[in-house]
Amino acid sequence: MPATPRPVLLDCDPGTDDAVALWLALAAPGIDLQLVTVAGGNVGLERTLPNARAVLGLAGAGVPVVAGADRPLVGRFRSETRVHGMDGLGGVTLPEGPPATPGLAADAIRARLRAAAAESVTLVGLGPATNLALALAAEPDLAGRVAEIVLMTGAVGEGNWSSAAEFNAAMDPEALAILLACGRPVTLATLDLTAQALVTPARVAALRAVSGGGRCLAAAVEILAAIPPSRRFEHRGVPLHDPCAVMWLVAPELFTHRAVTASVVLDGADRGRTRIDRWGRDGAPANARLLEGLDAEGFFAALGMMLKELK
């Protein structure tokens, strides 16, 4: 008897990798995607919102999409169009999706949590964590309805926004700090993990060769092919960040992990840097699960198998 799909509320900033992560979340039998909320991030909210609607619309998904923060809790909005293009989807045009659901992301998240049983809802954060943080800061007791928070954020080593900070953490470190302090299990998919999910031309070709897929798989392949290779990897490919966070919920056997103590720097040149203590050296109690190892071949095989089930 298959396990009951876990209720998931997913916050994102589509974003090329967010798009593939959304399709993965829709396709995964173990995920009951109940709400998608959107923030400004890779590109502005005026693009990330229609992108989320279009991605879900292409899959024919009736999941409500609610707009949220167009800027961080502190400081000004900044984007990453160099990676995602001005439109946020690498220049890939999708048909317009269904309208967004009126309201604000943080309110929609709180409403879902209020209606949920204790420790029953999984929150997934794939962009700056502003919406998730606003929801839990406004009504802290709702953290008790959360089973787990899974974030693509941070880095043990070097960043990708600054030498010290990964983009999502750098864009709203205060929001990340709120989530790390909320008292619920937090699972981190950092840059060090996502570097193992390198999208290379060979892996794009393998996804393109998956038979029986529909328009979502085709669009995902087109989007992946459009992402510029990263100089961090000698232009051999580009890390597929956000689907790693979702795949943890789909196929945890593909990962190794350990309990760590994680915090985020809020001041100075290292603002947005995640300090991750893997060995308990700093004396603080563990407050997060760090995803460390990834079976990359298994990841991409599972991704293809899942995406081909979509329209």
d(CA 93, CA 226): 12
- Tell me the CA distances in angstroms from 250 to 89, 142, 305, one per residue in order: 24, 25, 12
Is residue 279 within 8 Å of 218, Cβ to Cβ? Answer: no
d(CA 45, CA 50): 8
**42 sits near ligand RIB (criterion: CB under 6 A):** yes
13 or 270, CB closer to ligand RIB?
13
Q: Which option in Ca ion, ligand RIB, none does residue 160 bind, with CB closer than 5 to 8 A by kind?
A: ligand RIB
Concatenated DSSP letters of 197-218: SEE-HHHHHHHHT-TT--HHHH
Applying CB under 6 A, among 8, 10, 18, 264 the residue interacting with ligand RIB is 18
What angle, rounded to 10 degrees, do the helices at 16-27 and 215-226 form?
150
Q: What six digits make up the tokens of 122?
A: 């999984």
**68 sits near ligand RIB (criterion: CB under 6 A):** no
Applying CB under 6 A, among 172, 242, 270, 277 the residue interacting with ligand RIB is 242
38 or 302, CB closer to ligand RIB?
38
**152 sits near ligand RIB (criterion: CB under 6 A):** yes
Applying CB under 6 A, among 11, 13, 148, 277 the residue interacting with ligand RIB is 13
d(CA 149, CA 50): 25
Q: Which option in ligand RIB, Ca ion, none does residue 263 bind, with CB closer than 5 to 8 A by kind?
A: none
Which helix H or strand E contains 150, and what residues bound it? Answer: strand 146-152
Residues 106-145 that bind Ca ion (CB under 5 A): 126-127
Is residue 51 within 8 Å of 19, Cβ to Cβ? Answer: yes
CA 125 to chain centre: 5
Size of the site for ligand RIB (CB under 6 A): 15
Give least dist CB 211 to Ca ion, A. Answer: 29
Q: What are phi and psi of 303, to 5 degrees?
A: -60, -45
7 or 272, CB closer to ligand RIB?
272
Stretch that binds ligand RIB, among 12-20, 182-190, 218-226, 262-270 (CB under 6 A): 12-20
| Residues taking part in catalysis | 241
Residues that bind ligand RIB (CB under 6 A): 13, 15, 17-18, 41-42, 126-127, 152, 160, 166-168, 241-242
Residues that bind Ca ion (CB under 5 A): 13, 15, 18, 126-127, 242
